[in-house]
């Protein structure tokens, strides 16, 4: 904002001049990548790997417009990798059941007995004579 509102160039070899030069360079880069991206978007259908080239140009344009985003993305990726390495180096996870029946065989036998009773009652119904009311 200060760059846009300045009415004259800053004093030579000052900090303000350095900042203004960096701002001017960044704006030129952004303008260049914007034009390059437009040209590649027009030519992309005629190029064999047009989509890939256009994606790379877009990334370069984004990095020139927002240089702080690329640094933060790299830092975040590094942090995530360190966290994954930390958990991976601990080895396999051990899972412990919260509830374990004392005797699971008793439960299975009860289920089997129940199924047998159902089968017996169905057979008895089939064998019994039908009564009409």
User: 95 in a domain, yes or no?
Assistant: no
Lowest mean pLDDT segment, chosen from 34-43, 46-55, 73-82: 46-55
14 SS3 class: coil
Please give the average per-residue pLDDT across 46-70, as a whole number. Answer: 76
Tell whether pTM > 0.85.
no
120 vs 70, more confident: 120
Q: Which domain holds residue 51?
A: 2-69
Q: Please, which pLDDT band fits residue 120 given cuts at 50, 70 and 90?
A: very high
18-23-29-34 Cα dihedral, nearest 10 degrees: 180
User: 117 in a domain, yes or no?
Assistant: no
Nearest to 54 by CA among 66, 39, 32, 65: 39
User: 131 in a domain, yes or no?
Assistant: no
Q: Assign residue 129 a region (left: φ > 0; alpha: ψ between -120 and 50; beta: otherwise).
A: beta
User: 86 in a domain, yes or no?
Assistant: no
Q: How many structural domains are present in the chain?
A: 1
In this prediction, residue 103 carries a pLDDT of 59
Alpha-carbon distance of 126 to 124, in angstroms, equals 5
User: 77 in a domain, yes or no?
Assistant: no
User: 30 in a domain, yes or no?
Assistant: yes
């Amino acid at each position: 904002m200060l760059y846009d509102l300045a009415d004259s160039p800053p004093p030579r070899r000052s900090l303000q001049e350095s900042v203004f030069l960096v701002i001017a360079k960044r704006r030129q880069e952004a303008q260049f990548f914007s034009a390059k991206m437009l040209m590649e978007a027009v030519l992309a259908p005629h190029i064999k790997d047009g989509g890939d080239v256009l994606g790379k140009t877009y990334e370069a344009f984004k990095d020139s417009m927002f240089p702080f985003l690329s640094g933060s993305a790299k830092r975040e990726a590094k942090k995530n990798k360190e966290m994954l390495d930390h958990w991976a180096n601990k080895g396999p996870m051990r899972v412990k059941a919260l509830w374990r029946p004392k005797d699971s065989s008793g439960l299975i036998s009860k289920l089997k007995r129940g199924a047998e009773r159902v089968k017996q009652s169905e057979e008895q119904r089939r064998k019994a004579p039908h009564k009409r009311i």
